[in-house]
Structures are given as structure tokens and as C-alpha cells.
């Protein structure tokens, strides 16, 4: 567990570091406006996130239950590959058919920007197609407890795409479509590598008839889809809330302003993810602790709160306090620094609140209180939508920061109310 957790932490840090170091170079090579076109394309990742809606989270769980059974794992692969291909094809067709509308009518662009954006979106559709199918293979590796190997490949291809993109944009041509083409090509190569390696690992001498027999006997498609559906409702609502800033800003900001927000949010996203590997590594212990004691013990509380302080609140405090210095060193662009600093500070406050809520969220999930998560997501999404309706669009990029602040504050308030109710319930039980 420690080895896998360390590998995941290294991969997270490495990929985020690559992105953070590459962004100033992309902005310098492309310019702020053309980087905004790239940011507009990347924001469409939200479509894949919605279509996924729990599939990639269920796959590792099913694979883990069949660990060591090659025939059953191949049967799972047959089923999941069909599902993921259909979903990826849906994403591809949706983007290709809506590329013109998105570029000319949804995003705020000039005619020249719209034409460049439409071409970039059409190429980006290929990237999402390859990435979505690849998420199946990554899910398989995680379910088979092979995080070290898959994280190494992810870091390798992540490094390749940035090195090649920067080199081509600098030495050949600086254009948004070329950026998306390179990323799509590397995504295809990563998919091909994971496909070949997994096929080799799951090669079975028993033949296809044995695989089909296992598939017919042990796999229940309806059961899988039902499991995904139950999880998807909560995930889609929570995902909708977390993506509201990009949905709203994509239709209200110019692509240049959208690019500025994307730069600042990349920092916030990197800080937000720091807590994830530690939480995932500790989660099995938390589940066991809750199962044995019906609620986390004081020592378990201390562990998860310590993780929150070290990996959540401390990084937020550092970025908030030294915001000017960090942006100066990182971007070396006074205009970008001045335009982005206010929203970055708001995002850091929001991420700090989210770090505290993440502790409560882990306890709720470990306690199998799925309906509580659903209720919190519904309430926080509704509260955020009300804020958006009455918010002043003239806030510009600040609107994205305030959307996150309202969302995380409402989630934390709900989480604290649930926690107080649990303490109150346990206090009453102890008195009785």
C-alpha cells in the first residue's frame, strides 16, 4: 500500500509540476489570446467527465474482486471495452457535431478566434476519444494493484506530450490546433501502449471459448450498469457543482480572460490534488476503523486531520501568503499577475475549505452514508446556482473564484452539521 501510495503521490506531483512549468512557456510562445483558445478546448473535458459518471470508479472495484483469475479478468475486459468504446464514440460525435456552435456561439470569440477554436475542438475530440478509452486500461491496472507501473507510464507520456508540444510550437509553428494535435497523438500512443501491455498480461492459453463461457456465467451487465447508475446520480450532481465555474465563465468571458482564469485554476487544481494520494492510502484504514467502532476513533481523527493540515491547509496558506512572489517567479508577466492574483487568493480560500470538507467526506463515505453525500451535493449545487443567478457578470474572472467559495462553504457547513448530529447522537447513546 505504501509503495502504491508513494507512486501515486510522485505521479501527481510530477504531472502537476510539468503542467505548472509548461504553462508560462505556452503563454510566451502562443500569446495570451491563443492560450485562451487552448484553455477553451481543455474546458470541454467536462463532457467526458459527465459521460464517465462513475464507470472509471467502478472498474477498479470489479477488477480487484477478480484479481488472479485471468479468465474472469478477460471477461471483464471484453464487457468494459465495449461500454467504454460506445461512450468514447458518443463523446467524439457530440464534439464534432457541436464544434461550430461552441466556437462561434457559445464561447465569446472574434471571427478569427472562432475559426481557430473550431479546428482545435475537432482535433481535441480525437484526444478525448483516446483518453476516455485509456481510462479503462488505467482502471484495470489500479484494480490489479499495479499502480507503480501505470503511474510510471502516465508520467512518461505526460512528459513526452509537453516536451514535444513545446518543441514543435517553438521551432515549427505556434498554433492552438498544433497543440491539440500533439496531445491527441500522444494520447493515442499511451492508449496503444496500455492496450498491448494489458493484452500480454491477460493472455490466456485456454482460448476464446473458455473466456466466453466465463463471461456468460459470471458477468451480469445489468448488475454492473445498476451499480454505476446508483453511484452516477451523486457523482453527476457533485461534478455539476464543481464544473459550474467553467460552464458559466466559458459563456461570459472572452477567450483571453478564460485563459487567465485557466492559468490561475491550474494552481488551485494542483493544490487541491495534493490531499488525494494520502486520502486514498488512508481510506482502507478509515473504513476498517469505522466498521469496528461505528465512528472514527480519536487516533483516527488525529491522523486524517493531520493529513488535512499538511497536504491541504498548509499549501493553501503558503500560496495565499506568497501569491505575488509565486506568480512573479512562475509567470514573469505583470499583467497576468495583476489580473489573476485576486481570483487565485479566493480560490486558495475555497480549496482550504474544501480540504476540511474532504475529511468529513471521507468519514461519510467510510460510514456508507451515500444519501448524505447526495443531499449535500444537491444542497450545495442549488445554493451555488442561486448565487450565479444573482451574481454580477461584470465580476469577470473573479466570478469563478466566488462560485467556488460559495460551493465549498455550503459543502463544509452541511458536513459540519452532519458531524455535530453524529456527536450529539453518540452523546445521547452514552448517557442512556
For residue 164, what pLDDT is reported? Answer: 96
| Cell numbers given for 351 | 480549496
Residue 85 pLDDT greater than 60, yes or no: yes
pLDDT per residue over 337-365, tens digit each? 999 999 999 999 999 999 999 989 888 87
For residue 108, what pLDDT is reported? Answer: 85
pLDDT per residue over 92-107, tens digit each? 999 999 999 999 989 9
Going by C-alpha positions, the residue among 46, 183, 34, 185 that lies closest to residue 115 is 34
Mean of the pLDDT values across residues 285-313?
83
Report which of residues 130 and 203 the model is more confident about: 130
Report which of residues 184 and 367 the model is more confident about: 184
For residue 205, what pLDDT is reported? Answer: 41
* C-beta of residue 403 within 8 angstroms of C-beta of residue 384: yes
Choice among 121-130, 292-301, 330-339 with the minimum mean pLDDT: 292-301
pTM: 0.77
For residue 121, what pLDDT is reported? Answer: 96
Sequence-distant (6+) residues with CB within 8 A of 308 are 275, 355, 356, 358, 359
pLDDT per residue over 246-283, tens digit each? 888 888 888 889 899 989 998 998 898 888 777 766 77
pLDDT per residue over 173-232, tens digit each? 999 999 999 999 999 999 999 999 888 887 754 444 444 444 444 445 666 666 666 666
Within 10 A of 232 (CB to CB), how many other CB atoms are there? 19
- What does the alpha-carbon distance between residue 82 and residue 62 come to, in Å, rounded to a whole number? 16
In degrees, rounded to 5, the angle at the alpha carbon of residue 57 between the alpha carbons of residues 53 and 60 is 150
For residue 5, what pLDDT is reported? Answer: 65
- What does the alpha-carbon distance between residue 260 and residue 243 come to, in Å, rounded to a whole number? 17
Q: Phi and psi for 207 in degrees, rounded to 5?
A: 95, 170
Residue 25 pLDDT greater than 60, yes or no: yes
Per-residue pLDDT band at 63 (split at 50, 70, 90): confident
Per-residue pLDDT band at 399 (split at 50, 70, 90): very high
Whose cell is 475529511? That residue is 359
Residue 132 pLDDT greater than 70, yes or no: yes
For residue 394, what pLDDT is reported? Answer: 84
Per-residue pLDDT band at 392 (split at 50, 70, 90): confident
- What does the alpha-carbon distance between residue 305 and residue 396 come to, in Å, rounded to a whole number? 35
Within 10 A of 429 (CB to CB), how many other CB atoms are there? 9
* C-beta of residue 282 within 8 angstroms of C-beta of residue 59: no
Mean of the pLDDT values across residues 47-63?
75
Per-residue pLDDT band at 22 (split at 50, 70, 90): very high
What percent of the chain shows pLDDT beyond 70?
A: 88
Whose cell is 505556434? That residue is 174
For residue 150, what pLDDT is reported? Answer: 83
pLDDT per residue over 39-48, tens digit each? 999 889 888 8
State the SS3 of the chain. CHHHHHHHHHHHHHHHHHHHHHHHHHHHHHCHHHHHHHHHHHHCHHHHHHHHCCHHHHHHHHHHHCCCCHHHHHHHHHHHHHHHHHHHHHHHHHHHHHHHHHHHHHCECCHHHHHHHHHHHHHHHHHHHHHHHHHHHHHHHHHCCCHHHHHHHHHHHHHHHHHHHHHHHHHCCCCHHHHHHHHHHHHHHHHHHHHHHHHHHCCCCCCHHHHHHHHHHHCCHHHHHHHHHHHHHHHHHHHHHHCHHHHHHHHHCEHHHHHHHHHHHHHHHHHHHCHHHHHHHHHHHHHHHHHHHCCCCHHHHHHHHHHHHHHHHHHHHHHHHCHHHHHHHHHCCHHHHHHHHHHHHHHHHHHHHHHHHHHHHHHHHHCCCHHHHHHHHHHHHHHHHHHHHHCCHHHCCHHHHHHHHHHHHHHHHHHHHHHHHHHHHHHHHHHC
CA of 135: how far to CAs of 52, 132, 139, 187, 333, in Å?
A: 10, 5, 6, 11, 36
For residue 138, what pLDDT is reported? Answer: 87
For residue 348, what pLDDT is reported? Answer: 96
For residue 226, what pLDDT is reported? Answer: 64
- What does the alpha-carbon distance between residue 372 and residue 391 come to, in Å, rounded to a whole number? 28
Mean of the pLDDT values across residues 19-48?
90
| Cell numbers given for 246 | 467553467
Per-residue pLDDT band at 428 (split at 50, 70, 90): confident
| Mean per-residue pLDDT of the chain | 85
Residue 430 pLDDT greater than 50, yes or no: yes
* C-beta of residue 4 within 8 angstroms of C-beta of residue 147: yes
Amino acid at each position: 500500500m505504501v509503495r502504491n501510495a508513494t507512486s501515486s503521490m510522485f505521479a501527481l506531483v510530477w504531472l502537476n509540476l510539468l503542467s505548472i512549468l509548461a504553462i508560462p512557456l505556452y503563454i510566451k510562445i502562443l500569446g495570451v489570446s491563443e492560450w485562451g483558445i487552448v484553455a477553451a478546448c481543455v474546458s470541454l473535458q467536462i463532457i467526458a467527465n459527465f459521460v464517465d459518471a462513475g464507470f472509471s470508479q467502478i472498474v477498479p472495484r470489479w477488477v480487484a474482486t477478480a484479481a488472479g483469475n485471468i479468465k474472469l479478468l478477460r471477461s471483464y475486459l471484453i464487457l468494459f471495452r465495449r461500454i467504454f468504446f460506445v461512450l468514447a464514440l458518443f463523446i467524439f460525435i457530440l464534439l464534432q457535431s457541436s464544434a461550430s456552435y461552441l466556437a462561434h456561439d457559445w464561447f465569446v470569440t472574434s471571427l478569427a478566434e472562432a475559426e481557430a477554436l473550431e479546428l482545435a475542438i475537432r482535433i481535441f475530440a480525437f484526444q478525448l476519444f483516446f483518453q476516455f478509452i485509456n481510462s479503462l486500461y488505467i482502471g484495470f491496472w489500479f484494480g490489479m494493484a499495479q499502480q507503480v507501473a501505470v503511474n510510471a507510464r502516465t508520467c512518461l507520456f505526460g512528459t513526452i506530450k509537453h516536451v514535444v508540444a513545446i518543441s514543435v510550437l517553438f521551432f515549427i509553428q505556434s498554433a492552438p490546433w498544433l497543440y491539440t494535435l500533439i496531445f491527441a497523438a500522444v494520447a493515442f500512443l499511451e492508449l496503444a501502449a496500455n492496450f498491448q501491455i494489458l493484452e500480454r498480461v491477460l493472455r490466456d492459453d485456454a482460448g476464446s471459448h473458455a473466456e466466453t463461457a466465463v463471461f456468460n456465467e459470471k458477468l451480469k451487465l445489468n448488475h454492473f450498469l445498476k451499480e454505476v447508475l446508483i453511484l452516477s446520480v451523486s457523482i453527476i450532481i457533485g461534478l455539476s457543482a464543481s464544473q459550474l465555474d467553467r460552464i458559466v465563465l466559458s459563456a461570459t468571458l472572452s477567450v483571453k480572460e478564460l485563459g487567465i482564469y485557466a492559468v490561475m485554476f491550474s494552481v488551485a487544481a494542483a493544490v487541491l490534488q495534493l490531499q488525494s494520494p494520502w486520502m486514498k492510502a488512508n481510506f482502507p484504514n478509515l473504513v476498517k476503523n469505522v466498521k469496528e467502532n461505528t465512528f472514527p476513533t480519536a487516533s483516527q481523527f488525529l491522523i486524517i486531520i493531520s493529513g488535512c493540515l499538511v497536504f491541504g491547509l498548509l499549501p493553501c496558506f503558503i500560496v495565499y501568503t506568497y501569491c505575488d512572489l509565486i506568480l512573479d517567479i512562475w509567470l514573469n508577466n505583470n499583467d497576468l499577475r495583476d489580473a489573476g492574483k485576486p481570483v487565485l487568493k479566493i480560490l486558495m480560500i475555497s480549496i482550504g475549505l474544501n480540504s476540511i470538507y474532504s475529511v468529513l467526506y471521507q468519514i461519510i463515505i467510510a460510514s456508507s452514508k451515500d444519501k448524505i453525500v447526495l443531499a449535500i451535493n444537491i444542497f450545495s449545487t442549488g445554493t451555488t446556482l442561486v448565487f450565479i443567478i444573482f451574481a454580477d457578470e461584470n465580476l469577470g474572472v473573479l466570478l469563478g473564484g466566488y462560485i467556488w467559495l460559495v460551493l465549498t462553504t455550503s459543502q463544509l457547513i452541511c458536513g459540519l452539521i452532519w458531524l455535530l448530529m453524529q456527536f450529539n447522537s453518540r452523546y445521547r447513546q452514552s448517557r442512556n
